[in-house]
Amino acid sequence: MKAYALLAGLAVSASAAQTPLARLPRVDADAVLAHTKVLASDDYEGRAPGTRGEERTVTYLVEQFKKMALQPGNTDGTYIQKVPLVGITPDPRTVLTFKKGSQERQLKFKDDVVAWTKHVEATAAITDSDVVFVGYGVVAPEFQWDDYKGLDARGKTLVMLVNDPPVPDPANPAALDPKTFGGKAMTYYGRWTYKYEIGAQKGAAAVLIVHETGPAGYPFGVVQGKTGEQFDLVTPDRNKGRAAIEGWLSLEQGKALLAMGGQDFDALKKQAATRAFRPVPLGVKASMTLHNTLRTIDSRNVVAKLPGRDMHLKDEYVVYTAHWDHFGIGDPINGDRIYNGAKDNATGTAGLLEVARAFTKLPTPPKRSILFLAVTAEEQGLLGSQYYSVTPLHPLAKTLANINMDGLNVYGRTRDIILIGLGNSGLDDYVKKAAAEQGRIVHGDAEPEKGFYYRSDHFNFAKQGVPALDPDEGIDFIGKPAGYGQKVRDDYTQNRYHKPSDEVLPEWDLSGAGEDLEVLFAVGYRVAQADRYPEWSPGNEFKAKRDAMLKR
């Protein structure tokens, strides 16, 4: 009887999984635009965490989920996951001192060094901490790479380079080895956030990255923008697991520090691109004290659930995410102080609502459950999604996939759809199939070296091991001249991105977004029906974590 039921279930699943995209419920692009207009209106005050804008946004989202008769996504019976945030502002009247024998160098805050602490404390300091140069600061077992090689880093100040180690291709020394650290593409080992995390795991007192414009992808001026208040989550240990001081040195100061240690920057940089590199103690001691102003904010993720219909699989999930927050009210530009965040990310939040509505129109729900998660504080460093990923409401080992929406296409229909991090996981095939059913193609992003895959909320799922999709708008527009896609993209980046002018414009056309959302809907539906979990591709930096998680 049981075997029979199982077989019958499989037969149903096989046919259900094959439902052509054209026969699935549609995603209503007009409704996406209507939600966007509400969320991006001046009434919502730019949706900053901890403001009246948050109140209004959260109320709107909960109301919409209730109207669709979706269930509360939190196990406590609410549509809310509280996210406690702390804002830490360092006093800029501080210096970083390097000492070696009778030599001493004092580095000016902001001009020479940008530093902060994640410790939730009024004071964070290092005193006479030994400085060690650790190359790129990377530990990557899948590439047989370890820049620490038995170094006891406890209490030390680690100085490292930004980006992945640039390993030449043995077949063509002018190019990077595609088999090591993704070749030209940046892996997570190249991101500055990784450098601080690995330094903390090693027990370092301070982690300082030497800034270089090329490998970082942005000038030191961008780093100097990080001297004000920074938000973070508060862990039970008040973030004491982090290094006391994190920061950046200007390239000039990085070179001067190595020279003080009797070393040559360029020579060490060359060694650091090889597996043979060993940590180099500089014989220099570092001291710095940060005095901080602290404030706490309780923000919220909004979460709704469509329960799966299969009693054996309904505790397994596909999670859709979109960040509801933006920058709120800030410095005026052209007399406008409200950072409406229309494209970024009222559109994605609106898309999340309408994908949810499409799921409620299915004749029968999928076998597994679907979670719709509107996260907070993305603009403060992906914090709402980070909170969910470390304190998930439903186990990540039973979460098949994350599908993220951040900035929808507002310029009309395209022949293509872009997947940032194309090749990362088996989810790509779902996207390719659904896009093909619309007569469209999928390709990767044009600048993989900039590491865009690590810059929105799906990344927090990836980091914890869950295969995660980062779709982006296409670039090949139907009925528009060649180059139109790049033109509108550049115009947005230069004139509207993170500015008060990111507003809904009369010429916006959400028809392309509607098609993209139908692809994402089909992908989530089919993953929720599938016989197997999607997997990371071999060699992917998140694969080991997923494999370990699923073995438990």
Contact (CB, 8 A) for 74 and 304: no
Q: Which is nearer to Zn ion, 61 or 207 (CB)?
A: 61
Residue number, 96 or 405, with CB nearest to Zn ion: 405
Residues paired with residue 71 on neighbouring β-strands, in sequence order: 305
d(CA 334, CA 341): 16
**Which C-beta is closer to Zn ion: that of 32 or that of 206?**
32
Minimum gap (Å) between residue 378 Cβ and Zn ion:
6
Nearer Cβ to Zn ion, position 406 or 503?
406
CB of 360 to Zn ion, least distance (A): 26
DSSP letters spanning 511-531: HHHHHHHHHHHHHHHHHHH-S
Give the integer Cα–Cα distance in Å for 430 and 409: 20
Provide the minimum distance between the beta carbon of 498 and Zn ion in the complex, in angstroms, as a whole number.
Answer: 9
Contacting residues toward Zn ion, per CB under 5 A: 344-345, 406
Taking the C-alpha atoms of residue 374 and residue 58, their distance in angstroms, rounded to an integer, is: 9
The phi and psi torsions of 360 (rounded to 5 degrees) equal: -70, -15
Query: To the nearest whole angstrom, how small is the minimum distance from the Cβ of residue 17 to Zn ion?
Result: 31
CA gap 203, 210 in Å, rounded = 19
Shortest spacing between CB 468 and Zn ion, in angstroms: 15
In this structure, which amino acid lies at residue 204? A
Q: Closest separation between CB of residue 323 and Zn ion, Å?
A: 6
Q: Which is nearer to Zn ion, 306 or 517 (CB)?
A: 517
CB of 302 to Zn ion, least distance (A): 16
> Residue 203 CB, nearest distance to Zn ion (Å)?
34
CB closer to Zn ion out of 344 and 472: 344
Q: How far is the CB of 407 from Zn ion (least distance, A)?
A: 6
Q: Does an H or E element contain 438, and which?
A: none
The dihedrals phi and psi of 343, each to the nearest 5 degrees, come to: -75, -40
Handedness of CA 108, 109, 115, 117 (dihedral sign): positive
Nearer to Zn ion among residue 323 and residue 432 (C-beta): 323
Q: Round to whole Å and give the CA distance between 116 and 293.
A: 12
Q: Tell me which DSSP letter residue 343 carries.
A: I
Least Å distance between CB 347 and Zn ion?
9
Closest CB to Zn ion among residues 345, 424:
345
Q: Rounded CA gap, 425 and 435, in Å? A: 17
CB-wise, 156 or 343, nearer to Zn ion? 343
Q: Which is nearer to Zn ion, 99 or 455 (CB)?
A: 455
Kindly tell me the sign of the dihedral angle through the C-alpha atoms of 169, 421, 40, 510.
positive
170 class by beta-carbon count within 10 Å (0-12 exposed, 13-18 middle, 19+ buried): exposed
CB 134 within 8 A of CB 210: no
Count Cβ neighbours within 10 Å for each residue of 313-352 and write b for 16 or more, e otherwise: bbebbbbbbbbbbbbbbeeeeeeeebbbbbbbbbbbbbbb
